[in-house]
Amino acid sequence: MTAKMAEPEPTRDGRAGPWSRALFARAERVIPGGVNSPVRAFAAVGGEPPFVVRAHGAHIVTRDGATLVDYVGTWGPALLGHAHPEIVEAVCRAARDGLSFGAATAAEVELAERLCELVPSLRGGLVRLVCSGTEATMSALRVARGFTGRDKIVKMDGGYHGHADMLLANAGSGAATLGIPGSKGVPDAAVRDTLTVPFNDVEALERCFSQHRGVIAAVIVEPVPGNMGCVLPQPNYLQRIRELTMTEGVLLIFDEVMTGFRLALGGAQELFGITPDLTCLGKVVGGGLPLAAYGGRRDVMASVAPLGAVYQAGTLSGNPLGTAAALTTLELLRRDPPYAQLETSARHVCEALLKAAQVHGVALTCNRIGSMLTPFFCDGPVLDHADAQKSDRRRFASFHRDLLMRGVYVPPSQFESWFVSTAHDARTLETTVAAAEAAFANIVLHA
């Protein structure tokens, strides 16, 4: 049937048209829910997802012929825009020399050296390359447990650290969107040692520590949570976590899979001046390829095999394509740090959303730090997962549909962050602002 359809005319309407709908019907027959990661589903906003054929700079192009301004940015990695020519070139060059060796390379040493220079908690420490954020957090926690000889871990309500069993307790991101923050298939035993506390609540963490003295291995936290939507740490909150963990002999793990290299070259830890014991990196560092890392204090990381007795391994770890993409990304960021530009662009989007909401009398709180932002459809402040839940999700769904219709692609869930890239120029920002103004007018009419 699809073969007989006329090729689509160029458009701005990003909603799934006949081509995407036909592909989705095929996808549903062979892929659970038709998507390879639940956050890509349109369950929370209605309709089918548009299928993507290519992406360049700040834009994605759908199978139905729409060119859309993209704020998903492949869920974070596309800090420098899609298909940055220097990154693409580096990957192609590396590919010609072999796709994977499963053996030591100079490039992986160089990358580890670079990471240990740029990220404060890695200075003087050790780092291990892996292929996904999930692997990084899962491995860092195993190391923390191995090093301390303790079993319990603490995470935040609405914090998301990938899909390892022990971390699917009050989890954010797609798990929160779909209402399955504690997944089926996770044995009780796997989450028995996972304690959760609200973000930005020092007293709750103190209570948790005093109830479980001497048995907590680590606190794992997104220093700026992005998976309950974007939520900012209150002044001194991260500092207090650092002090409390230090006092209790608990390791502090910053999950900077989202914030690493996005908020600053040295990540949120550099921005806030807090040094965790271990750090997890992913997304931006891989430049769009499956590359992630975890590392930190030398004494702690010395537990990792073959140096120590904590086992962690990977066939494709440090593979030449991911490593080439990462080295080029870091070089581009070092050569020309984009953070001032990202700040200006993202502030512009945020302010335009707030202004349009105000004009149309829509309650809106827009949390933003650097190039991460989330508009919540409620009065603020939004300081934790419970606050984020107060957002009017019907209004969000209406807003999402309207933006998509007008050429702007944002995450199909209230509980995600939008990402601005260096490729978002004045024109793309104006498209966004115009679309948002129209979308807010419609919310009042329809939602």
Closest CA to 261 of 279, 242, 245, 237: 279
Kindly name the residue from 71, 160, 294, 339 that is annotated as catalytic: 160
Which segment (1-9, 142-150, 154-162, 329-337) binds ligand PMP by CB under 6 A?
154-162
Can you tell me whether residue 372 is helix, strand or coil? Answer: strand
Which segment (88-96, 158-166, 178-186, 232-240) binds ligand PMP by CB under 6 A?
158-166
Applying CB under 6 A, among 73, 162, 287, 295 the residue interacting with ligand PMP is 162
State the nearest-atom distance from the C-beta of 266 to ligand PMP, in Å: 17
Nearer of residues 67 and 137 to ligand PMP, judged by Cβ: 137
Kindly name the residue from 64, 193, 255, 392 that is annotated as catalytic: 255
Report DSSP letters for 273-302, one per residue. T---SEEEE-GGGGTTSS-EEEEE-HHHHT
State the nearest-atom distance from the C-beta of 4 to ligand PMP, in Å: 37
Residue 294 known to be catalytic = no
State the nearest-atom distance from the C-beta of 316 to ligand PMP, in Å: 13
| Cα 324 from Cα 118, distance rounded (Å) | 17
State the nearest-atom distance from the C-beta of 141 to ligand PMP, in Å: 12
Nearer of residues 161 and 424 to ligand PMP, judged by Cβ: 161
Q: Which residue has the tokens 């892929």?
A: 31
String of contacts with ligand PMP for each residue 112-151, x by CB under 6 A: --------------------xxx--x--------------
Nearer of residues 173 and 422 to ligand PMP, judged by Cβ: 173
| Cα 125 from Cα 116, distance rounded (Å) | 7
String of contacts with ligand PMP for each residue 71-90, x by CB under 6 A: ----x---------------
State the nearest-atom distance from the C-beta of 163 to ligand PMP, in Å: 7
| Cα 173 from Cα 353, distance rounded (Å) | 22
| Cα 21 from Cα 1, distance rounded (Å) | 12
Q: Total residues at the site for ligand PMP (CB under 6 A)?
A: 16
48 lies in the site for ligand PMP, by CB under 6 A: no
| Cα 263 from Cα 257, distance rounded (Å) | 11
165 φψ region: left (φ > 0), alpha (ψ -120 to 50), beta (else): alpha
Residue 283 known to be catalytic = yes
User: Count of residues for the chain?
Assistant: 447
Kindly name the residue from 64, 71, 157, 283 that is annotated as catalytic: 283
| Cα 249 from Cα 131, distance rounded (Å) | 30
Distances (CA, A) of 289 to 77, 128, 130, 173, 174: 8, 16, 11, 21, 21
160 lies in the site for ligand PMP, by CB under 6 A: yes
| Cα 328 from Cα 312, distance rounded (Å) | 26
Take residue 232 and report the two structure tokens written for it. Answer: 């900012």
CB 300 within 8 A of CB 251: yes
Residue 160 known to be catalytic = yes
279 lies in the site for ligand PMP, by CB under 6 A: no
String of contacts with ligand PMP for each residue 195-224, x by CB under 6 A: ---------------------------x--
Binding site for ligand PMP (CB under 6 A): 75, 132-134, 137, 160-162, 173, 222, 226-227, 255, 257-258, 282
Active site residues: 160, 255, 283
